[in-house]
Structure 1
Amino acid sequence: MISLCGETQQWKCLRKREKIIQILLKAGFAIKKSKVKGPAREIQFLGVKWHDGRRQIPTEVINKITAMCPPTNKKETQAFLGAIGFWRMHIPEYSQIVSPLYLVTRKKNDFHWGPEQQQAFAQIKQEIAHAVALGPVRTDQM
């Protein structure tokens, strides 16, 4: 899949797309016209939602995570941390929030779900529900 972003004017996007198609055809690639999509303001690619060039957590993922019940053992805690870990870059101070959850997954520790873990669990679900969209790095503004 080739995704273009950045152009807000449809004709510019179409012109850029045609240039890329021509380059690929000259290089010997076969392109099915039925597979060419767009322009679109929103796509989902590899489980990530892209809207206006910004990376977002898909609504289905947010709903699935916020509906999860508190873990009852180490394996369930690890599974929860795995489910949210992919989205950590959307959550400011992610590691500080989830550190109480990692404590109960250590081999040397017995599983004990206390108020600190419950608070971290609720907070990270809340953060996922209100996660920020990530835009491209703009080196010209640094």
Structure 2
Amino acid sequence: MLELQYELESKAAKWYATIDIANAFFSIPLAAECRPQFAFTWRGVQYTWNRLPQGWKHSPTICHGLIQAALEKGEAPEHLQYIDDIIVWGTRQWKCLRKERRSSRFS
């Protein structure tokens, strides 16, 4: 986290905008062959996750990597990313908001 803070402090920006991808983990499907690893029993009924579960130690890494790949593939404007949060900046409000709109199309 400190690396992100230092990076932001190095920018000559007056405006910042953030994007938080809601329910990012739950929008990532688990491969069918992986689902048995996430099975659990509750009140005598067995369930399994079909989406990337919150609380699993690898979920943040997987989520971050997939979002990062989408942003890079889509040539998103200069930004910083931490898991499902994206921040863009600019010297003027309109520049910052334009970057935010462009970035949100890729995520």
Q: TM-score range by the shorter chain?
A: under 0.3
TM-score (norm 2): 0.26
**Does 1 or 2 have the higher relative contact order (CA < 8 Å, sep 6+)?**
2
Greater helix share, structure number: 1
Q: Which has the higher strand share?
A: 2
Task: Normalising by structure 1, report the TM-score.
Answer: 0.21
